[in-house]
Amino acid sequence: MAKIIQNHKDCIGCGTCVILCPKFWEISDDGKAILKGAVKKENGDLELEIDEIGCNKDTEDACPVKVIKIE
């Protein structure tokens, strides 16, 4: 089990995560990426628990502003 966390507020909407891992990421109406099916926390972060990290590992490394964390 893994948890993906995105600091949505600080996303710059570059689209890298969407290109690398479109199964999990898409650009939302606010121009920033969202994690499909994620829960929005009180601080604005998006969180999603998944069985397999899969392509999300690449997104954590590639995000230019490091707003994606995998625990």
12 binds ligand SF4, rule: CB under 6 A: yes
Closest listed residue to residue 69, CA positions, set 29, 32, 35: 35
**Tally of CA atoms within 13 A in the half-sphere of 11 that contains its CB:** 29
46 binds ligand SF4, rule: CB under 6 A: no
Query: CB under 6 A: which stretch of 8-16, 38-46, 48-56 binds ligand SF4?
Result: 8-16
- Token match 């590992």: residue? 57
Of 16 and 38, nearer to ligand SF4 (C-beta) is: 16
- Token pair, residue 64, equals 């230019």
5 binds ligand SF4, rule: CB under 6 A: no
